[in-house]
Amino acid sequence: MTDTRPSSKREGPFWPVTAVERAAGTPLQGDLDCDAAIVGAGFTGLRAALRLAEAGAKVAVFEAGEVGHGASGRSGGQVNPMLPVPRPENLLKAVGRTYFERLAEVSLGSADELFDLVRRYQIDCQARQNGWLRVDHSRGARERARAAALEWNRFGAGFEFVDGDQVRRMTGSPVFDSATLAPRGGAVQPLSLVRGLARAAESAGARIYVRSPVTELRRVGERWAMTAGGTAGRHRVAAEKVILATNGYTDGLLAGLKQSILPLTPVQIATRPLGEEEIGPVLPGGQTISDTRRLIMYGRREPDNRIVYGGLGFRRLFAGVGGVEWLLKDVARVFPSIRPESWRFEWDGQIAVTADRVPHFHEPAPGLLAGLGYNGRGVAMSLVMGRVLAERALGAEAASLPFPVSPVRAMPFRGIQFFGHNPAMRLMRLMDSAEFRAR
C-alpha cells in the first residue's frame, strides 16, 4: 500500500544529514568596492568566483540565503553529460552550426570537467563516476532513445546499450527491459559539492556574503552600483563587472530576466538507511538512474544504503508543492522491495526552463553578464557556465565562447505555460502511464 501520510510527517531536505560542514561566509557588514560582484552562491556563481579569484580579481559573491540555498544544495546530484535536447538537430536548430559544435563538445564533456574539478580542489562530496542509466519506459521510447544516442555518439558521447537481464541486474527493478548507459555520468553529494566550491573560492581569495540579498542594480558611469544586505543592514556595492547566477530563483533585479525562464519545481524523497533485505537488488553498481517518460523519475543509491528518488512536482494553487504522492506510488512499482514507511525525507527546489531547452548566456549591458536555464540538467552544465562567465568577465572574446550571447527575451506564451502547467502535467502523466502499462 502507498504511504499517504501527510507531508508534514516526513522531515525536510536530506542532504544536510550527510553533507560536509556548513561553508563559511558572513553577512555583508559595510560598503564594498570590487572588480566582480556575483549574485547567487550556487554552482554557477561559485564556479565563476573561483575562476575569477584565481586570476587575481577582487571578487565578492552575494547570496540571499546560505551557500547552496538554491537548486545546487537541493538537487538530485546526478552528473549527466548531456543537454536535455533530444537529438543533435534540436541543438543545431537552437544555436546554429558554430555553437552547435562547441556546445555539443562542452556538454558531452561536462561530467569529466566536473570530476576533474572535484579532484583538482580535493572537494569531499562523495563524487563517483559510475555511469548514468537512462531506462526506457516503452518500446517506442527505446527506439527513439537508441536512434538519438547513436546520433550523439557521432559527436563523442560514448553511449552504450543494455538489455534484458543485464538491465534488470543493474537497476534492481523488475519493470525495465532496456536502457542507454552514459559511462561518463555519475553522482555527487550536491550540498557537499557546493560547500566545497565555496571553500575553494574563499581559499583563492573570493569573499562570500550570505543572508545578503541584492535588491538594486544600476549602471553608474563606467561601473555598476548595487544595494545588498539583509537584517544586518543594507550597504552599497560598487563593481566593474556583475554576474547574475540566480537560475530558477531569478527575481526582478534585472528587468525581463525572470520572464525569460519558466521556474519549475522538482520534488525529491529519501529513505532512512535500508537493511540488506530492503535495498538488496537496487542499483548495486552505484549508477544513477532516470527514465524516458515525459515526466521523468530519477534515483540513486547512497553510500549508506539510502535511496533518493525524484520527479517533477507542481505548485499548489494557494500554497505549497505537490507531487510527492505520485513519487511514492511510482517508486513502489519501480523498486518494490522498499517499504513505504522507509521514506523519511521530502523536499523541493526550483529549476529554470528555457523555450529552446538550452542554457542562455546574456550580456545585456557592458560588464553585466547572466547565465541560466539548465532545464533540470544543471549540476555539470552550471559549472561549465560559471567558468565561461568568468572567462568572459576576464576579457575572452564573446565570439570565442561555447554559448552564443543572446538578448534577454521573454519566453513565448510564458503566462499560459505558467498557469497551464498543472493540467499539462496531469495529461502527460496519463500518457506516460498508458505507455508504461502497455509495454
Ligand X SMILES: Cc1cc2nc3c(=O)[nH]c(=O)nc-3n(C[C@H](O)[C@H](O)[C@H](O)COP(=O)(O)OP(=O)(O)OC[C@H]3O[C@@H](n4cnc5c(N)ncnc54)[C@H](O)[C@@H]3O)c2cc1C
Interface contacts to ligand X, rule CB under 6 A = 39-45, 62-65, 69-72, 74-78, 80, 213-214, 245-249, 251, 253, 266, 268, 298, 310, 348-351, 374, 376-379, 382
Nearer of residues 160 and 251 to ligand X, judged by Cβ: 251
Q: Which of 251, 237, 292 is nearest to 432 (CA)?
A: 292
Shortest distance, position 360 Cβ to ligand X, whole Å: 11
Q: Are 232 and 243 in contact (CB under 8 A)?
A: no
- Residue 304 cell numbers, joined: 549508506
Shortest distance, position 165 Cβ to ligand X, whole Å: 27
Using only C-alpha atoms, the chain has a radius of gyration, in whole angstroms, of 21
Shortest distance, position 301 Cβ to ligand X, whole Å: 14
Nearer of residues 168 and 234 to ligand X, judged by Cβ: 234
Shortest distance, position 310 Cβ to ligand X, whole Å: 6
Nearer of residues 149 and 217 to ligand X, judged by Cβ: 217
Place of cell 498508458: 434
Nearer of residues 142 and 258 to ligand X, judged by Cβ: 258
Nearer of residues 25 and 213 to ligand X, judged by Cβ: 213
Shortest distance, position 275 Cβ to ligand X, whole Å: 26
Shortest distance, position 213 Cβ to ligand X, whole Å: 4
Nearer of residues 39 and 368 to ligand X, judged by Cβ: 39
Phi–psi pair at 335, nearest 5 degrees:
-125, 75
Shortest distance, position 209 Cβ to ligand X, whole Å: 9
Q: Are 151 and 207 in contact (CB under 8 A)?
A: no
Nearer of residues 41 and 167 to ligand X, judged by Cβ: 41
Nearer of residues 177 and 271 to ligand X, judged by Cβ: 271
- Residue 235 cell numbers, joined: 550597504
Shortest distance, position 195 Cβ to ligand X, whole Å: 12
Shortest distance, position 373 Cβ to ligand X, whole Å: 9
Give the nearest residue (CB) to ligand X.
378
Shortest distance, position 91 Cβ to ligand X, whole Å: 17
Shortest distance, position 402 Cβ to ligand X, whole Å: 16
Shortest distance, position 271 Cβ to ligand X, whole Å: 16
Q: Are 163 and 178 in contact (CB under 8 A)?
A: yes
Q: Are 386 and 47 in contact (CB under 8 A)?
A: yes
Nearer of residues 13 and 439 to ligand X, judged by Cβ: 13
Nearer of residues 131 and 266 to ligand X, judged by Cβ: 266
Distance CA 166, CA 90 (A): 31
Nearer of residues 56 and 320 to ligand X, judged by Cβ: 320
Nearer of residues 78 and 173 to ligand X, judged by Cβ: 78
Q: Are 260 and 105 in contact (CB under 8 A)?
A: no
